[in-house]
Amino acid sequence: MTDTPASKTNLAVAAAEDADIPSIVALWERCELTRPWNDPSADIARARQGPASAVLVGRDGNTIVATVMVGHDGHRGWVYYVAVNPDQHKKGYGRAIMAAAEDWLRERSIEKLQLLVRADNTRVQAFYETLDYDQQERVIYAKWLDGRPMTP
């Protein structure tokens, strides 16, 4: 997504505010991160309700151009909804928003960050490899606790 060092971006990163939610959801939809079975507004609300997670936004001026949802379980950190406005690629914003998520976790003494990438999303896999993330072999199990059938 980027070849520009994060330190050379003009991205200002901060925790999301209530007024940011429509712009965040619109960005996630534009980046094709949303799925019909996940309500993005509800995901944002859950992430913002406690100290173990947050939604960070990156602004270029007054415009939200990058986001990351970051959280931890006390042992491992996770990121979700890493997004950069497609019109703003190659400016270092992806690298900068991930650095902000890593810093957020370090501030909470979380030593390992994990993330999930769909197997067919090779472009995003290549991006994370440029940030020194390594693929780990794992089998993921999931269950909807409300009884829904499993989603892809």
Dihedral, CA atoms, 82, 130, 87, 118, nearest 10 degrees? -50
Q: Identify the structural domains of the chain with CATH numbers, from first to last.
A: 12-115 (3.40.630.30)
pLDDT for 2 equals 34
pLDDT for 8 equals 66
Average pLDDT over residues 29-42: 94
What tens digit of pLDDT does each residue of 62-120 get? 999 999 999 999 999 999 999 999 999 989 999 999 999 999 999 999 999 999 998 88
* Phi/psi-derived region of residue 73, left when phi > 0, alpha when psi is between -120 and 50, beta in every other case: alpha
